[in-house]
Structure 1
Amino acid sequence: MPLMPRHLGDFSLTTRVLPITGLALVVGAAGAGAACLLLRLIGLITNVVFYQRVSTALVAPGAARHSAALILLSPVAGGLIVGLMARFGSEKIRGHGMPEAIEAILVGGSRIQPRVALLKPASAAISIGSGGPFGAEGPIIMTGGAVGSILAQALKLSADERKTLLVAGAASGMAATFNAPLASVLLAVELLLFEWRPRSLIPVGAAVSMSVVCRGWLLGTAPIFPVTDLVHPGPAATTLALLPGLTGGLLAIGATGLVYLAEDAFKKLPVHWMWWPALGGAIVGVGGLFEPRALGVGYDVIDQLLTGRAALSLVLGILVVKTLIWSLSLGSGTSGGVLAPVFMIGGALGALEGDLLPHVFPGFWAMAGLAAVVGGVMRSPLTGIVFTLELTHAWNDLTPLLVASVSAYLLSALLLKRSVLTEKVARRGLHLTREYSTDPLETFFAREVMTTDPAVLDADDLLSRHPRTLVYADQTLREVANTFAVHDTTRALVVDRGDPERLLGLVELTHLLHARRKDHHEEHHRQRHLTLRTRELRINPDTVDPDTV
């Protein structure tokens, strides 16, 4: 009786990745359009609320003097509208976007409701346009992700393919917002994809590329915060980048703690959560009375910080007021992103320390602080580095930014259990790991662990076994494990790929533990392989010429 394998497990790049990549190009263009519309909507609401004019230009709420009543009450009104939209529209619009996208991927099969694609940007524009100290990137991640998810739901696709299109939409929206393609792809890998594989990276890269091309037509191609008067930082500046790195890590830990301290405090209030964003808006309004420039998305302030044009009073005001109102109001569950505020807070920290550190060029230390706080708050050090470089085009600063971002990440990883993004996911009862490594099951083949014991491979036993699940000898243990899962079995016959009728052995579930034991051994077993040994040199003075010793 011929033996034919029931599961081959071969991956086809042509039949699976290329069609999804074609869809991702469409999603990328849509993500750029959504980002442009969101920025215009934020500009429109900001102009109407603070300047009583109709314009879509992106302006800062605090760029002119306003009455105390307007500064105090506008964020409250905006928060009240957001609360109503969340209660009677969709609760999914609450929060800063990225945790909601992560949750949709982890437990929702990468399915996002179509109404979220409309309500999320609208609520974020109202929140930010009325003075909320948030960024546009979180909402656009959720909106772009919803665009990709909706397209995927309309087609017959797998959950992994839906995830790819969801992340493609999220990353394309991010890329269009900040004109930062590489950082957006890194953010997708570090936060959303939970893998680094061709099946997802290629479509996401294609979507981001299309998004940036479309952004050039819609918003231009110049860097968002161009830095001029660049010089190459020397070894001293690179070493001193540890200071903004370590202090940025501490600031990231403190800000993250404040966010969830505020969230816990709001949960104890004897009022419905619908009212929380309005209460958070009151905190924003009070902060705005002290530092109006802390209101809104703050791109103008970030530009001043990164180009060395911010006065000390503005630096101090942003560092204190922005950190407090952003952290405390974000805990209210309103709609808004974390990235732009983190840019501003990190830039302010670096600018403040720059007054004490050697001058390199205007904005250098602000850039180091920005990269550090992003690396610490979001636990995405590579994203922090590349974002800073793409925002400013200060490519010479790679090494000091690496020092700052990684040192902040080190402190955050040592002292903080989870990031500001993953803590929210964990509080919803979900487990999320951010440590990616090679699956040990990928490092062994079936032929290396199978048994060839004749007593086990009795011919009569093989013929009576039903159903017979077969695997190839050169399949990895991960493919074998997938075969076990698909066919609900714990054993399979191993055959030769060149001659499928040739039985080579039997692999069982317990054999898969060999890879895990090997991985555990390599992680925990310590052994010295090279040692330095000294030998005593004995010389006989009667037989050795002293001139040759």
Structure 2
Amino acid sequence: MLLITALALPVGAAGAGLAWVLLKLIGLVTNAVFYQRVDTALVAPGAVHHHPLLVLLAPVAGGLVVGLMARYGSEKIRGHGMPEAIEAILTGGSKVQPRVAALKPISSAIAIGTGGPFGAEGPIIMTGGAVGSLFAQFLHLTADERKTLLVAGATAGMAATFNAPLASILLAVELLLFEWRPRSFVPVAAAVSVATMLRAPLLGSGPVFPSVGELHLSAAAYGLCVVSGVISGLLAILATVLVYAAEDAFRRLPVHWMWWPAIGGLIIGAGGLVVPQALGVGYDVIGAELAGTISLGLVVGILVVKTLIWSLSLGSGTSGGVLAPMFMIGGALGAVEAQVFPHVGPGFWALVGLAGVLGGVMRSPLTGVVFAIELTHRFDALLPLVVGASAAFAVSVLLLKRSVLTEKVARRGFHLTREYDVDPLEVLFVDEVVDDDVVTFAPELNVADAVARLDADAVARTQRLFPVLRDGRLEAVVSENTLRAALEQQRGASTVASVATLEPVSVFADDTLRTAAHIMADAGHTRLPVIRRDDPTELVSVVCLQQLLAGRVKDLQEERDTERVLRLRTPRLARLSARTARE
């Protein structure tokens, strides 16, 4: 763990640098395309009037370039980054191609800078993850260690982009690591910390969307947070369905996928003609939503147009992230709700909507809550955000099979679970599931007699593996197959000791069933002798693979079996029960 943590420190620094480079690239392309100037400041289209043809055709040109880069560079740059990172972790041994690290930020800067309604966080996750993976590939590391460095680079870039270290760590736990262990958590936290510290001189240290003003919370407001969360969850479902409906529609087109991003760009351009502010990353619009200064007409336009152009164009396979669009769409939903709900504080309902949509779309409610707080430093909104994000998460889980991230992975033929649970094999120890009645053989017993006992003893026929004891001490083990094979080879007069396995692989009685399962998998055995830790020659029993299922059976029983433990009893019912008992 300490070695990987030390390696994660430079990965975190690289992630911060890559975040800075990507944001500058986006600013450079946006300024060049929409304002015809050389500048790296992060601006959005729509600040001034643009020629309609520019608004319509710039996203098409950007999509065409992205399609060409994907076709002749690497197809891995398509998509919004996180599913690709997940796929690399699950199926690729956390190995990312070097060209992805170079092509992903460039393609994303072009897609977003030419008006694509996407965020920078997805590309930086894939780019930072690629750098962490490449660094790990030059070292002699395991797949799990490469995964840790990949996630360290991805979350470091995220933390530097949004100045949100805790949300980035939660994102790693909820979406990327697929575990909650010190061996991965500590290195990722170290990388995120380094990236966040470096962000101050590179991009500033304040909140990305500062929000001020007192909040006036009431019981009614908390109840409406539930309503807002339900609406956010429904919007999240709609956006997810639109993304994959668009993807299915593009797959049916009689043209190569290289042209899909350009067609998606045409959809973006058409939306930009209606609401130019829906183009690009849109940090200025998000800031206005959270400050409560956005107009109703613009916020309705953002809610409708941004949702449509983001979901439909993302289905084309272009390059861009999902977080910033979710911020904008969720903030717009909350701003609309603010026209109906009672006033709590400036931008309050936009903040609740932001956390709700993020929790519903990504199925990461904790990440949504912490992101909302770190983006605005609205720590006094913690409980309302928890209520809203949890309600949205519940709606999404109940009505939609998979999230916008896991659906893409599932469509590529991989199963992905997002639920964390205590391994039932960690609950029970080996000595709790084994039998006391064990058949053993003496080393001097001949093979023919041993086989005869197998045929006569019902317990022996099911045990299959037999400890060989000398003076009551474990010396070896022999399997039924070995004994019968020796008999067929005319070795019936040979002793059991001559065909037994000395120094057998074994488990301790106080090992967990999970440890036993690991030892079985590593040794390739389905049955093992069980011994005492303080005296390895003292036999306890034999454990088999079927007995390991006892932990799973217990878990299923706790999940399915119902019982009433306590009963409310009135004095009259108590007297009646006592009288019935006497009779």
Q: Structure 2: which amino acid aligns with 1:158? A: T
After alignment, is 331-340 or 489-498 more displaced? 489-498
- Note the alpha carbon deviations across 1:469-507, whole angstroms, 9 max, x for none: 111222111111011111100111122222222222211
- Alpha-carbon distance between aligned partners in 1 of 2:216 and 2:296, rounded to the nearest angstrom: 25
DSSP-derived class of the 2:46 partner:
helix
Identity over the aligned pairs, expressed in percent? 65
RMSD after superposition: 1.4
Is 1:392–2:376 an aligned residue pair?
Answer: yes
DSSP-derived class of the 1:230 partner:
coil
Is 1:493–2:524 an aligned residue pair?
Answer: no
Is 1:161–2:196 an aligned residue pair?
Answer: no
Give the one of 454, 457, 468 matched to 1:459.
Answer: 468
- Note the alpha carbon deviations across 1:219-276, whole angstroms, 9 max, x for none: 1110000001132523222221112111111100001000000000000000000000
Q: Answer yes or no: is the 8 Å Cα contact 2:290–2:350 preserved in 1.
A: yes
Structure 1 or 2, whichever has the larger Rg, is 2
Q: Answer yes or no: is the 8 Å Cα contact 2:467–2:529 preserved in 1.
A: no
CA 1:533–1:94 in 2, change beyond 3 Å: closer, same or farther?
Answer: same
The structural deviation recorded for 1:538 is 11
Give the one of 437, 459, 475 matched to 2:511.
Answer: 475
The structural deviation recorded for 1:340 is 0.2
Which residue number in structure 2 is paired with residue 216 of structure 1? 200
The structural deviation recorded for 1:535 is 4.0
Show the 5 A alignment for 1:141-220: 141-220=125-204
- Alpha-carbon distance between aligned partners in 1 of 2:547 and 2:86, rounded to the nearest angstrom: 34
The structural deviation recorded for 1:412 is 0.4
Is 1:284–2:293 an aligned residue pair?
Answer: no
Is 1:449–2:467 an aligned residue pair?
Answer: no
- Note the alpha carbon deviations across 1:182-202, whole angstroms, 9 max, x for none: 100111111111111111111
DSSP-derived class of the 2:277 partner:
helix
Q: Structure 1: which amino acid aligns with 2:8? A: A
The structural deviation recorded for 1:132 is 0.3
Q: Answer yes or no: is the 8 Å Cα contact 1:164–1:200 preserved in 2.
A: yes
Show the 5 A alignment for 1:295-310: 295-310=279-294
The structural deviation recorded for 1:402 is 0.8
DSSP-derived class of the 1:493 partner:
strand
- Alpha-carbon distance between aligned partners in 1 of 2:231 and 2:170, rounded to the nearest angstrom: 24
CA 1:481–1:537 in 2, change beyond 3 Å: closer, same or farther?
Answer: closer
Is 1:339–2:323 an aligned residue pair?
Answer: yes
Q: Structure 1: which amino acid aligns with 2:96? A: I
Give the one of 522, 531, 546 matched to 1:510.
Answer: 546
After alignment, is 232-241 or 333-342 more displaced? 232-241
Structure 2 unaligned blocks of 5 or more: 441-465, 470-475, 478-496, 576-583
- Alpha-carbon distance between aligned partners in 1 of 2:251 and 2:572, rounded to the nearest angstrom: 74
Q: Structure 1: which amino acid aligns with 2:350? A: A
CA 1:526–1:295 in 2, change beyond 3 Å: closer, same or farther?
Answer: same
- Note the alpha carbon deviations across 1:329-375, whole angstroms, 9 max, x for none: 00000000000000000000000010111111110000010011001
Q: Structure 2: which amino acid aligns with 1:272? A: H
Between the two proteins, the alignment pairs up a number of residues equal to 523
Q: Answer yes or no: is the 8 Å Cα contact 1:350–1:368 preserved in 2.
A: yes
Q: Structure 1: which amino acid aligns with 2:46? A: G
Q: Structure 2: which amino acid aligns with 1:20? A: I
The structural deviation recorded for 1:313 is 1.1
Which residue number in structure 1 is paired with residue 69 of structure 2? 85
- Alpha-carbon distance between aligned partners in 2 of 1:396 and 1:232, rounded to the nearest angstrom: 10
After alignment, is 78-87 or 232-241 more displaced? 232-241
DSSP-derived class of the 1:195 partner:
coil
- Alpha-carbon distance between aligned partners in 2 of 1:251 and 1:441, rounded to the nearest angstrom: 39
Which residue number in structure 2 is paired with residue 109 of structure 1? 93
Q: Structure 2: which amino acid aligns with 1:179? A: N
Q: Answer yes or no: is the 8 Å Cα contact 1:233–1:397 preserved in 2.
A: no
Which residue number in structure 1 is paired with residue 348 of structure 2? 364
- Alpha-carbon distance between aligned partners in 2 of 1:242 and 1:490, rounded to the nearest angstrom: 51
Show the 5 A alignment for 1:314-333: 314-333=298-317
The structural deviation recorded for 1:537 is 8.8
Is 1:140–2:124 an aligned residue pair?
Answer: yes
DSSP-derived class of the 1:62 partner:
coil
Which residue number in structure 2 is paired with residue 414 of structure 1? 398
Q: Structure 2: which amino acid aligns with 1:271? A: V
Q: Structure 2: which amino acid aligns with 1:466? A: T
Q: Answer yes or no: is the 8 Å Cα contact 1:233–1:396 preserved in 2.
A: no
Structure 1 unaligned blocks of 5 or more: 1-16, 540-549
DSSP-derived class of the 2:542 partner:
strand
Is 1:427–2:411 an aligned residue pair?
Answer: yes
TM-score by structure 1 length?
0.93
After alignment, is 454-463 or 234-243 more displaced? 454-463
The structural deviation recorded for 1:534 is 3.3
The structural deviation recorded for 1:458 is 4.9
Which residue number in structure 2 is paired with residue 5 of structure 1? none
- Note the alpha carbon deviations across 1:405-436, whole angstroms, 9 max, x for none: 01011110010000001000000000001111
Is 1:531–2:572 an aligned residue pair?
Answer: no
DSSP-derived class of the 2:572 partner:
coil
Which residue number in structure 2 is paired with residue 27 of structure 1? 11
Q: Answer yes or no: is the 8 Å Cα contact 2:211–2:377 preserved in 1.
A: yes
Q: Structure 1: which amino acid aligns with 2:501? A: H
The runs of at least 4 consecutive aligned structure 1 residues that moved more than 6 Å come to: none
- Alpha-carbon distance between aligned partners in 2 of 1:331 and 1:454, rounded to the nearest angstrom: 61
Q: Answer yes or no: is the 8 Å Cα contact 1:232–1:396 preserved in 2.
A: no
